[in-house]
Structure 1
């Protein structure tokens, strides 16, 4: 309860959560919220300025930038969030099994993690895209292949800290099933660490998929995605810089919200970080 109270009283955490909730709602309800069809081409409106009908103007094909920005939430945030959940699920399963049983099971799983983590994340992602081809699905597969090992190793460390506690040994002594012990005793104590890791990883994953799409290795036209919108506006970045402002600002705000959320979770879990983080925020504000 103390952790929850510290988290809910953090104004920056509340703002970050509000931004993320609104972003997810806009993405899920895009067909009803978007003012126009994001794929409709209107050559007569090519590079048109902002108006009441098109609040953010039109791109090089006359498509509504606001509609494409709203639809871009799905591949840029929602589908990345789904890949993150799968990565956390696989990593948590491997981490709990390795940290609880240890021995040969731990050795095999951790050596597998070492193999995966020995390659830089970007190199592995590019290798998967090169083998399977460009596209959102293949990038998400690459994310899952890379991220699960990172989660598994960190979660294993957290589980090992609590697996030798007296109440866990007592549960084993009275014959409680291992799965019940892990769910009842280990999952609750490891969940905060998982939440912090997931929130910090989400921001980097959004940047990665946007960067790959900007380079032409991710989402392909005509699908709307923030990184690809930046790439499409690059040709007129000096004459029409506002076309890059909307997707660039969207990426910045959402990624910052996830990082601030991770920071708030760390503060809630470790009150000793409150003073240092507030001091850091004051320095940034200056």
Structure 2
């Protein structure tokens, strides 16, 4: 019988001393084993842990045998939590900020605390880890090179459609958070404003009933599985198709720009605005000026 192998290679870097500062600690979004070693180091060393819901964080700490003083930091208590954090940091203590799940500062009330520490010129450190936004983006099967995270959409359809109109330009994948009861209505508004784009609805990420439903927005809007699902939900929507710019439109834009700028600068401006090759626009600008 051989001895069991150590949990980590002997060459693994040892934990560093946790210096005074505010640590924005990402916590599991479902599976408790997704916690990082650095996150555990910080939570063990913390003199104070600011939590969106102290009951949720207490369960996480208990799962890893950690004890720390907890203070509430939700929408109603963030201002007071910021004052406490600054006082503790100025005294040289370690303060950890966590959300209920995932990465702090992403659609949670931690911004007030982090901003207060930054304003007071106190050290602020990220402890990266779980993120439902990134997890959904990974499994959506959609472009991830240019992404716009839009958070939660407004609860009313009119305001929701107005916001979606401002996001319908081409070139970027859109990511939204949504609640189960509002999901179907939001998908309908997305389909109406954004068109039948490919999309993915990720639910209960890293949990037992993890699910990712992919399809066109108009199809997802009527999918029985998405009428009022439970759990945390992330919606990922593919970029819109770039509009084809006609030669006449390019000439009109160039003609207007040439009334204000020399050919080279006019070509650069129109190139950026219409996503067209600058060299071709420059040649055309010279032609329009009879050169």
With structure 2 as the length reference, what TM-score do the two structures score? 0.21
Larger radius of gyration: 2
Q: Select the structure that is richer in helix.
A: 1
Q: Select the structure that is richer in strand.
A: 2
With structure 1 as the length reference, what TM-score do the two structures score? 0.21
Higher relative contact order structure (alpha carbons within 8 Å, sequence separation ≥ 6): 1
